């Protein structure tokens, strides 16, 4: 508690899915000064705005969560934007934080940075052993360059920046927009709406045979706070559960938990994305004592409950569901 009481913490993306949870946890730990600016106030793509933000707030810790993200569909539609926005935001924030004398910089990377074909489970040492999966390579590479920058700044300037690599996140408050959401919220929405509308089937992209690993948003926030306090090394650190599940099995579990008893059709003409994703997570435990506490079934149930209580029925669907569930690009 005393660590956070004396820190002024800047959280980019603090009003987003993960950021909201992180800010709540910071308050619960006694952090008195939390800055969570909105993009309309300070556009992180504008170097002058970034410099002004740091000059006005003078944080001791920066936790960089802000990102432009989406599923496979969004990544394929916006590769240039996903590359430029994510790269420029992070690069300028790191540079200006170094100039401003920030004590600690925490950067959230992405599992998309790993090679498309990588030995499972993914180890941090494997990060540079190949090119990322093509549909989200621009996003993954943009975020990966921030690791290079942090390591270079540590070497030349002694800048204390750390880099964390989370798997796909999910949980209450996620993005349930079928055009931009990731696989779990997309499937939850489709299953709940199909059940409510009496629709007999839903459609998901790909074969369903690829695998993913998922980390509950509360666990991700806990990991970030632990790493901020306890980790000061140059090497990246995986954040996950170490458990993978096929998308087909995931869809069946979501259908069961949401009460949808219809058919899930798989559109194999659409891309699967990366064949497998599962992280080796021992470094996080060894370096700063993180171990995920939420099992997938429990987290899915809580997320479905949140969606039913907050969003289900807010945008009624007339006729057959036409939107396609996206596999996760992050």
Judge whether 139 counts as a catalytic residue: yes
Is 225 within 8 Å of 29 (Cβ atoms)?
yes
Going by DSSP bridges, is the β-strand pair 61-64/211-212 parallel, antiparallel, or unpaired? unpaired
Averaged pLDDT, 175-185: 89
pLDDT of 103 strictly over 80: yes
Structure token pair of residue 149 = 């920058």
| pLDDT tens figures, 48-84 | 999 999 999 999 999 999 998 777 777 788 899 999 9
Q: What does the pLDDT average to over 290-300? A: 97
Average of per-residue pLDDT across 295-303: 97
> Which token pair is 73?
């569909």
Q: Which of 84, 131, 139, 153 is catalytic?
A: 139
What was the pLDDT predicted at 73?
A: 74
Cα 107 from Cα 148, distance rounded (Å): 12
Where residue 316 falls among pLDDT bands split at 50, 70, 90?
very low
Place of tokens 């370096």: 287
User: Can you list the domains of the chain with their CATH numbers?
Assistant: 2-169+212-239 (3.40.50.720)
Please tell me the pTM assigned to this model: 0.91
pLDDT classification of 315: cutoffs 50, 70, 90: very low
Region 179-206: mean pLDDT is 93
Query: Does the structure show a pLDDT above 60 at 320?
Result: no
Residue 264 and residue 242: Cα distance in Å, rounded?
Answer: 27
> 116: Cβ–Cβ under 8 A, 6 or more apart, which residues?
130, 131, 132, 133, 134, 274, 275
């Amino acid at each position: 508690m005393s660590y956070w009481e004396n820190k002024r913490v800047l959280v980019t993306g603090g009003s987003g899915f993960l950021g909201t949870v992180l800010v709540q946890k910071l308050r619960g730990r006694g952090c008195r000064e939390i800055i969570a600016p909105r993009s309309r106030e300070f556009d992180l793509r504008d170097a002058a705005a970034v410099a002004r933000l740091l000059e006005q707030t003078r944080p001791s810790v920066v936790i960089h969560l802000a990102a432009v993200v989406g599923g496979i569909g969004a990544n394929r539609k916006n590769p240039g934007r996903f590359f430029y926005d994510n790269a420029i935001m992070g690069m300028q924030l790191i540079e200006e934080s170094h100039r401003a004398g920030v004590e600690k910089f925490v950067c959230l990377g992405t599992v998309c940075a790993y090679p498309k074909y990588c030995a499972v489970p993914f180890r941090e040492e494997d990060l540079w052993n190949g090119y990322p999966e093509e549909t989200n390579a621009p996003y993954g590479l943009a975020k990966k360059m921030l690791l290079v920058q942090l390591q270079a700044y540590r070497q030349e300037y002694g800048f204390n920046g750390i880099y964390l690599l989370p798997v796909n996140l999910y949980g209450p408050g996620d993005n349930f927009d079928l055009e931009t959401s990731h696989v779990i919220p997309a499937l939850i929405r489709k299953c709940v709406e199909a059940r409510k509308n009496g629709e007999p089937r839903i459609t998901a992209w790909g074969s369903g045979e690829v695998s993913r690993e998922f980390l509950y948003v509360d666990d991700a926030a806990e990991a970030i706070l632990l790493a901020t306090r306890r980790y000061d090394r140059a090497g990246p650190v995986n954040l996950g559960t170490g458990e993978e599940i096929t998308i087909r099995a995931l869809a069946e579990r979501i259908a069961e938990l949401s009460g949808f008893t219809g058919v899930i059709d798989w559109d194999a003409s659409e891309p699967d994305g990366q064949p497998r994703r599962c992280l080796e997570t021992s470094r996080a435990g060894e370096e700063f004592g993180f171990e995920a506490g939420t099992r997938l079934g429990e987290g899915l149930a809580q997320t479905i409950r949140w969606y039913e209580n907050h969003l289900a029925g807010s945008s009624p669907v007339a006729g057959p569901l036409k939107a396609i569930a996206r596999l996760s690009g992050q």
